[in-house]
Each structure stands twice: as structure tokens, then as C-alpha cells.
Structure 1
Amino acid sequence: MTARPASEATPSGKPRARALGIPFAGTPGPLNAITDLPGLAVGYETLIRGEGALHVGQGPVRTGVTAILPRGRDGVGDPCAAGMVSFNGNGEMTGTAWIEETGSLDLPILITNTHSVGACHMGAIEWTVRNHPKLAEAWLLPVVGETWDGYLNDINGAHVKPEHAILAIDAARAGPIEEGSVGGGTGMNCYAFKGGNGTASRLVEYGPHRYIVGAFVQANFGSRHELTVAGVPVGRALADDNPMESRRLAAPAGAGSVIAMVATNAPLLPGQCKAMARRIAMGLARTGTTSSHFSGDLFLAFSTANRGALKSRFPEGSPGPEEFDTLRFVPWGRMDPFYAAAAHAIEEAVVNALVANETMIGRDGHRTPALPHDRLVALLREHRAIA
């Protein structure tokens, strides 16, 4: 049997949205992933163990860590222009005060569960001390984002440790990446189906140049009735198997959070990165969400162009006569195609997180069903969204 291309299947063979014939706007990159950006690497450490009743500190465990290295391991310390947006602030992303101040980031980005931010923050520092000791002589402000996996995971147990963050960073690779219930996305839910990690990319033609806009989401948001795929409101028609929202839990339907990011190799100013981050909301909205008050919707965007600029380390001696940074950037009036690419890639990344997934049972027998592919395809055909 001929293997599916990377745009249609994950490395483990799970189908992606395009394998179901779901249409999306825009042209994807070769991998249809954030790793279409040259040098960018993604790594996972997945923690799954135990079953049955919750015993805090003992499990069951359904969680993990995701690491994203914008310039790979060797590029840590070389800043990227960056911008962050808090669309709804019921969440956490460390290091963002420094991004707001300088418009740059230069360390690995980690994503995990809500109560493991501290362990991952320490792990990122330990990894940097070991691998980039000169960089660690100053101060380190890693970016660590989170979403809540307490429906399936023993979230109050200290299961994620600094060494797991280190393992995720060390596992970071270029090329096709896994989606669904892996890394920080392991215990996450999206539209009351099994959610987690998803990625996609878009090509942007700019005169003689071709740039990539890549998207990555840790999707843990949305209420079932909201779900929209390819413009078709499918959530209400798929409402029958919904144990997460039918249980009487403390968290209301739609709570959870999403960490989302877009990355590009197009040369952008920090303010343009922030503008790109705002467009993430447009992509999420295309999947149906209206953004719950109890959902931390935190967005990050960065550009891997302009290597060597935006450094902010202790100065040595007096500045030379030509000690200036220079940034090349797309004119503001030419940004619209990049905004569209960001929204379209985020939309597909969310649907990929849903499609490349399986049903999971976690703490206390809590069950989250996988999105049923056959029923979804039938609904899209009924509405003539696919052939």
C-alpha cells in the first residue's frame, strides 16, 4: 500500500484532515506543518500511565511536554522578532513581559498542563545552562504556556518534572511531526472531542520570494455545539456521544484553553508579529469557537528572519561607530496575505488535532471520544462541502 504524503498522515500513520477530503483555503507547504520553516524543531515527551480512580500524586497520568525551538538547538540565543496577544487571559504564558518589552524571544518554547508550568520553566533553564552556558551567565526568561487537562489527568500531582522538559527539548527535530494526544496535548479536549496538538502551514508568494507561515496549536477549547468544519456547523449533529459535557463538573462547557502560535521566515517587525498573533483568533473562529470566559486563549507569533538582530545581552565596552541593528521587513501595506495565511493555517491545525486522534479514558473513568470520521464526512457531503 502506498504511504500517504505528510500533508495527509502523521509519522505514525494517523490520518490528517486532508486525508478525509476536507477542503481548506490557501496552499500548504510540503509538510503542511510548522516544521516547514527551515531550522524549526518540535519535540515531545508524553506521559501516560495508570487507570481507574484518581489518587492525587499517584495518577492516572495523561499529560506531557511539547518543545518548539524556533531556530533549532544550535540557534538558541539568537533572537527572533516576536509578539504575544492575550485574547482571553484565563491562562498562563511566561516570558511575555520580556517579549512585550523587547519584541524578541531566544529560548525554547514549552507547552504543558496548567499546574506544570513551573517544572517546565525550570527544565528550560537547566537545559540552557547545560547546553548554552555562556547564554546562561545572564538571565533566562523561557516561554512556557499551558492548558488544563484535569478532566483526564491527575493535574494536581507533580508528574511533569524538569527532566521531562529537558527530554522534550532534546527530542526536538525538523520534519514531519506527530499530532493529537502527544506531548503537552496528551490529556487535552477540543469541542468535547479528543483534542491536543495540531499543525499546518501556508505558502505566501511575495514577488520573487516564497515564504512559509506555520501554525501550531495545543487545542483544549470549545463546546460541542460550536464545532464548525469547512464552514459547516457539525457540532449539534454530533452531540449524542458527549460524556465530558454531560457530566456535572466544576468547569462549564467550553472551558479549557488554547495555546496557539504562528511562525514565519518572512522578515517582520515585532509589531507585525503581534499583528499576526491577533489573526490567530480569526482562524480559531473559523472552527466555531466564540472564546469562553474560562478559556485561556494565549497567542504567540515570531519570525525567524533577520538573524543576529534584536540581541539584548550585557554590553561590553563602548559602542562602536556602526553598532546598530538593522531589520528588513515586509511593508505594512503588504501584510494582508500573511494575515490570511495565519488564519487559514490555524483553522487547519485545529481540525488536524481533532482528526489525528483516538478516544481516551483517564482519571475516574472519564472518557473523551474521538471525532467520528465517517459521520463527519457524511455531514460534509450532505452540505456539499466535499465531493
Structure 2
Amino acid sequence: MGIRDIGVRVGHGTPGPFNSITDVQGVRVGHRTLVENRAEVSIRTGVTIIEPRAGIARFDPCFAGCHVLNGNGDATGLEWIRESGLLSTPIAYTNTHSVGVVRDALVAAEREWVGDSQYWCMPVVLETFDGVLNDIWGQHVTATHVHEAQAQARSGPVAEGSVGGGTGMICHEFKGGIGTASRKLAADDGGWCVGALVQANYGRRDALRVAGYPVGVALRNLPSPFDRRQAGVPGMGSIVVTLATDAPLLPHQCEQLARRASIGLARVGGGTEYSSGDIFVAFSVGNRGIPPADYGKAGEPVISVRSVSQDFMSALFVAAAEAVEEAILNALVAAEDMDGRGAHVAALGTARLLKALEQVGWRRGADHADHPFAD
């Protein structure tokens, strides 16, 4: 169930066949979800893996870029992306206190694949905080869970909502988690695909907007999971975003694309809380044969790559913003009620969302010209 399945249109673009980051050729996603009750301990967490290419990415890296809108969060591997412009490992999402074990598990997996023929690897691991619902101090994600998520990585439809790294996440004071969406550009704009996968764990309820409509105004008086002092404050959390495209982008263009995730986040009502870490990565599979950065290896001193003309970048920016906006909404729509650590986090729910939309002027089948906030 996604936002489109209830008749709400986000932007003007056309999704790919799966409306997922996996619409970008070669990209695969896998989850490992942990939902357990052990005596007084509630485990509501997991790990999500995004593989940029099937097989060993180290030997066929992608050009990549990253952007930090607000740095109240943590990540591994971003400095190497900034320095080299390369992504040569999977990207992982998990909770704040499990970044280390996930990173170490990805290093161990790479050594198993390539032996000692490489000097090093710097996996990209992104996090958001799930400690309202999850026993985050227990650090329940293990290397085995990471390897299981990798083994589950597939193309095709991607499970959304309370799965994988998004299991215990909260978004706009409703149950959040994993969401994905894509946009397929028209042939005149290059015909490329842009896909997004988010782990949404941010935002105040009263700021929530859906397809431009301020539904948070109609929803703001509902009970909040942050009512209890020890549960934190509204707006706390983070969002991490991965953008993938088959457009042949250079590293600085990938960074430009990553920055446009901020626009999609803003359209839903995020990006303004200091207590939120908003970290975005973008990569392109549009060039092959980029040599890995392994010092001491002999190779060609000059390589040939392709690049999208700057005149065609705007369409990619539009696609990225729309895909991120819709991915966040898909995370909200797909998530279900969850209890953990004495807290109850309600899902937004399609019936509640449709009622709130109608209260603020939305009507089914209306196009942009009929939007009361269009101008």
C-alpha cells in the first residue's frame, strides 16, 4: 500500500514499474527485521541494505556524492565519498547504536568475497534513532542480521513501513520507517530513472503536508507518542535518504542530486528541526569500468566516462525531489501501529489520512490546477 493506492498524486512525474529505488537497473534492497519481546526488553529494530550493483561493488564502483542538511546524526564512509567521488560498498540503514556492528559486518563480508587482495574498504552506514520503541542500548543488531539482510537483497518491489532499519522509527509523530519511490524521465529529458529509499524518523505532526495540503493542521490534536517526558520531544529523530540513478553523472553532479532530497523533505514538512539528522547520499550506475581506488595497482592513467549535460540536470532534480517526497509518504502509509518500551505509536492510516485531506480541501481526482494552495 502506497500513497498512490489511495488516490493521492504526488507531483507530475511518472513512477517506474515498481515505484522503487530498484527501478534503477542493478540496484537491490534487502531487510532484516527484529521484533521481539524478552522479559522487560522490547526489540523493535533491524537493518536495511542497498546494493548499488549486483555482485561485488568494490570492483565496479559508482560515482557518488553526499549532502548533510543537518548534522545531528552519524554516518560512516561519507568522507571517502567526498574525497574520491566513489561508492564501492553497499549502503546500510540501521539504528543509532548499531552503526559500528553493521559497518564491521560489511567489512567482514567484503573480506570474505575478495580475500586479502584489497587494502581496505569504507562501508557507508546511515542511522536514525529508534529508542522510543526499541531497547536501543541493548544493541541487538548483530553481524548475522546484516548478512541475512544482504542475502535477502533483491530487485523488484521493496517492503516498506516498519521493516528493516525502519522497524522502530517514528515520522511526524506517527509510525514511520522505510519508504521508496521512483520517477522515470520522459525521452526528451533523457529517459533516465531516479529512485529514492528513505528511513523516515523525523518531524512534528502539525507540520505534515501531503501533496501540498497541510493535513497536520487537521491531525495535530491526536495523542502523541512523545507525551511522556522520557519519550523525547516532538520533531526529534532523523531522516536518511539514498538516491540512485542510471543517468551518467559525475561525482559533483551526484552531490547536486543529493542536495535535492532536501526539497522533497521540505514538501512533506521536514528539514527545520535541529534535533534531526538529515543526511543524503546519491549514486549513479550510468558509468561502468571506473577503476577501484586501490593504491599500487597498475592500470590505465586515463579513463573515459560519460556525463549528463548540465542543460538536462533540472529534470533529474525534479525527479529526485518528487521521489523523496513520495517515498516519505509511502513510509507513513505502509507503517502499522506499534507498541514497545511502554510506548504506543499509531500509524497514520489511510482512512485517517483521507479524512484529514478532505478537511483541508483535497478531493479525489483533483489535478494541480484545482489545488487551493497551487499558487
TM-score by length of 1: 0.90
Letter in 2 for 1:20: I
CA shift digits 1:123-165 (9 cap, x unpaired): 1011111123256x31110000000000000000021111211
- Please state how far the C-alpha of 1:208 moved relative to its aligned partner: 8.2
CA shift digits 1:261-307 (9 cap, x unpaired): 11100000100000001000000111012431111100000001111
Asked whether the 8 Å contact 2:257–2:320 carries over to 1, the reply is yes
Q: Give the corresponding residue for 2:36.
A: 49
Letter in 2 for 1:379: A
Q: Give the corresponding residue for 1:368.
A: 345
- Please state how far the C-alpha of 1:207 moved relative to its aligned partner: 3.6
Change in CA separation of 1:230 and 1:45 when aligned onto 2, cut-off 3 Å = same
Change in CA separation of 1:289 and 1:216 when aligned onto 2, cut-off 3 Å = same
Q: Secondary structure at the match of 2:351?
A: helix
1:259 aligns to 2:237 (yes or no): no
- Please state how far the C-alpha of 1:310 moved relative to its aligned partner: 4.9
User: What is the aligned counterpart of 1:307 among 280, 283, 288?
Assistant: 288
In 2, the alpha carbon distance for the partners of 1:295 and 1:208 equals 34
1:381 aligns to 2:358 (yes or no): yes
Q: Give the corresponding residue for 1:12.
A: none
Letter in 1 for 2:351: D
CA shift digits 1:183-227 (9 cap, x unpaired): 000000000000000000001135484211000100000011111
In 2, the alpha carbon distance for the partners of 1:329 and 1:100 equals 18
1:30 aligns to 2:22 (yes or no): no
1:16 aligns to 2:13 (yes or no): no
- Give the gaps of 5 or more residues in structure 2: 366-375
Q: Matches of residues 284-299 of structure 1 in structure 2 within 5 Å?
A: 284-299=265-280
Q: Secondary structure at the match of 1:261?
A: strand
- The Cα RMSD (Å) is 1.6
- Give the gaps of 5 or more residues in structure 1: 1-14, 54-58
Q: Give the corresponding residue for 1:334.
A: 312
In 2, the alpha carbon distance for the partners of 1:375 and 1:207 equals 39
Q: Secondary structure at the match of 2:179?
A: strand
Q: Secondary structure at the match of 1:144?
A: strand
Q: Matches of residues 236-251 of structure 1 in structure 2 within 5 Å?
A: 236-249=217-230, 251=232
CA shift digits 1:77-130 (9 cap, x unpaired): 311110011110011110011001000111111110000000000110111111
Asked whether the 8 Å contact 2:69–2:271 carries over to 1, the reply is no
Q: Give the corresponding residue for 1:351.
A: 329
In 2, the alpha carbon distance for the partners of 1:132 and 1:368 equals 43
CA shift digits 1:32-82 (9 cap, x unpaired): 0000011111000111100774xxxxx210000000000023444311110
Q: Secondary structure at the match of 1:326?
A: coil
Letter in 2 for 1:23: R
Letter in 2 for 1:28: P
User: What is the aligned counterpart of 2:204 among 220, 223, 227?
Assistant: 223
Q: Deviation above 4 Å: which 4+ runs of structure 1? A: none
In 1, the alpha carbon distance for the partners of 2:38 and 2:297 equals 56
Percent identity between matched residues is 46
Q: How many residues align?
A: 363
Asked whether the 8 Å contact 1:104–1:310 carries over to 2, the reply is no
In 1, the alpha carbon distance for the partners of 2:52 and 2:242 equals 11
Q: Secondary structure at the match of 1:139?
A: coil
- Please state how far the C-alpha of 1:379 moved relative to its aligned partner: 2.9
